[in-house]
Amino acid sequence: MVDTRLDAVPNVEIEEGIYKYVLIKVYGKDESNHKNIVRGYADCQWHSDIYDRSSESCKGIGLETECLGGGRIEHNPDLKLIKVYGYSQGFGKADHAETRRILLEKFPNYEIQISDEGY
Protein backbone atom coordinates (compact mmCIF):
# COMPACT_ATOMS: atom_id res chain seq x y z
CA MET A 1 0.00 0.00 0.00
CA VAL A 2 1.37 3.42 -0.97
CA ASP A 3 1.60 5.97 1.84
CA THR A 4 0.62 9.31 0.28
CA ARG A 5 2.09 11.13 3.28
CA LEU A 6 5.54 10.22 1.92
CA ASP A 7 4.76 12.24 -1.20
CA ALA A 8 4.15 15.29 1.01
CA VAL A 9 7.77 15.20 2.21
CA PRO A 10 10.20 16.90 -0.20
CA ASN A 11 13.14 14.70 -1.18
CA VAL A 12 15.63 17.54 -0.80
CA GLU A 13 15.89 20.65 1.36
CA ILE A 14 19.31 22.29 1.07
CA GLU A 15 20.57 25.85 1.00
CA GLU A 16 23.37 27.75 -0.67
CA GLY A 17 26.78 27.62 1.02
CA ILE A 18 28.76 25.09 3.04
CA TYR A 19 27.09 23.31 5.95
CA LYS A 20 26.32 19.94 7.52
CA TYR A 21 23.69 17.59 6.12
CA VAL A 22 21.94 14.34 7.05
CA LEU A 23 20.45 11.48 5.04
CA ILE A 24 17.15 10.39 6.57
CA LYS A 25 14.91 7.37 6.03
CA VAL A 26 11.21 8.34 6.27
CA TYR A 27 8.45 5.76 6.65
CA GLY A 28 4.92 5.16 7.91
CA LYS A 29 3.65 2.18 9.87
CA ASP A 30 4.93 -0.21 7.23
CA GLU A 31 8.69 0.30 7.14
CA SER A 32 8.92 -1.47 3.77
CA ASN A 33 7.26 1.60 2.22
CA HIS A 34 9.85 4.33 2.72
CA LYS A 35 12.03 6.89 1.04
CA ASN A 36 15.33 8.58 1.80
CA ILE A 37 15.57 12.36 2.00
CA VAL A 38 18.46 14.85 2.19
CA ARG A 39 18.38 17.77 4.61
CA GLY A 40 20.93 20.52 5.16
CA TYR A 41 20.35 23.86 6.88
CA ALA A 42 23.07 26.50 7.18
CA ASP A 43 21.67 27.74 10.50
CA CYS A 44 22.08 24.34 12.19
CA GLN A 45 25.35 23.93 14.06
CA TRP A 46 25.11 20.14 14.56
CA HIS A 47 23.91 17.19 12.49
CA SER A 48 21.50 16.39 15.33
CA ASP A 49 19.91 19.85 14.99
CA ILE A 50 19.15 19.12 11.32
CA TYR A 51 17.81 15.67 12.13
CA ASP A 52 15.65 16.95 15.01
CA ARG A 53 14.07 19.66 12.83
CA SER A 54 13.35 17.20 10.02
CA SER A 55 12.12 14.47 12.33
CA GLU A 56 9.66 16.78 14.08
CA SER A 57 8.31 17.92 10.71
CA CYS A 58 7.73 14.31 9.62
CA LYS A 59 6.19 13.29 12.96
CA GLY A 60 3.74 16.17 12.51
CA ILE A 61 2.18 14.29 9.59
CA GLY A 62 2.41 10.85 11.21
CA LEU A 63 5.68 9.57 9.73
CA GLU A 64 8.68 8.04 11.47
CA THR A 65 12.33 8.74 10.70
CA GLU A 66 15.74 7.17 11.07
CA CYS A 67 19.00 9.06 10.53
CA LEU A 68 21.21 7.12 8.10
CA GLY A 69 24.29 9.30 8.60
CA GLY A 70 25.62 12.71 7.74
CA GLY A 71 28.37 14.74 6.20
CA ARG A 72 28.86 18.15 4.64
CA ILE A 73 27.50 19.83 1.54
CA GLU A 74 28.97 22.68 -0.46
CA HIS A 75 26.25 24.10 -2.70
CA ASN A 76 27.21 26.70 -5.31
CA PRO A 77 24.19 27.50 -7.52
CA ASP A 78 26.18 29.96 -9.68
CA LEU A 79 28.48 27.13 -10.78
CA LYS A 80 25.70 24.52 -10.67
CA LEU A 81 27.96 22.48 -8.40
CA ILE A 82 27.30 20.48 -5.25
CA LYS A 83 30.06 18.73 -3.31
CA VAL A 84 29.09 16.03 -0.81
CA TYR A 85 31.78 14.84 1.60
CA GLY A 86 32.79 14.08 5.17
CA TYR A 87 30.87 12.45 7.98
CA SER A 88 28.91 13.04 11.17
CA GLN A 89 30.62 12.23 14.46
CA GLY A 90 27.27 11.40 16.03
CA PHE A 91 25.50 9.56 13.18
CA GLY A 92 28.42 8.26 11.12
CA LYS A 93 29.02 8.77 7.42
CA ALA A 94 26.00 8.93 5.15
CA ASP A 95 25.96 6.94 1.93
CA HIS A 96 27.17 9.80 -0.28
CA ALA A 97 26.29 7.86 -3.45
CA GLU A 98 22.66 7.64 -2.27
CA THR A 99 22.75 11.34 -1.36
CA ARG A 100 24.07 12.14 -4.85
CA ARG A 101 21.29 10.07 -6.45
CA ILE A 102 18.62 11.99 -4.52
CA LEU A 103 20.22 15.37 -5.24
CA LEU A 104 20.38 14.60 -8.97
CA GLU A 105 16.59 14.18 -9.00
CA LYS A 106 16.19 17.80 -7.85
CA PHE A 107 19.28 19.22 -9.60
CA PRO A 108 19.61 17.26 -12.89
CA ASN A 109 21.71 19.99 -14.54
CA TYR A 110 24.27 20.15 -11.72
CA GLU A 111 27.64 18.53 -11.34
CA ILE A 112 27.46 16.63 -8.06
CA GLN A 113 30.75 15.40 -6.63
CA ILE A 114 31.13 12.98 -3.74
CA SER A 115 34.17 12.28 -1.59
CA ASP A 116 35.01 10.51 1.66
CA GLU A 117 37.61 13.17 2.42
CA GLY A 118 37.18 16.05 4.85
CA TYR A 119 34.99 16.72 7.84
Active-site residue, 47 included: yes
Residue 39 vs residues 1, 8, 29, 103: alpha-carbon distances, Å:
26, 15, 22, 10
Give bridge partners of residue 75 from the DSSP assignment.
17, 82
Residue type, 51: Y
The b-or-e profile of 45-71 (16+ CB within 10 A means b, else e) is: eebbebbeebbebbeeeebebebbbbb
Selected catalytic residue, list 34, 47, 75, 96 = 47
* Cβ–Cβ < 8 Å for 94, 71: yes
Q: Binding site annotation covers 25? A: no
Binding-site residues from annotation: 20
Q: Which residues are catalytic?
A: 47
Binding-site residues from annotation for substrate: 20
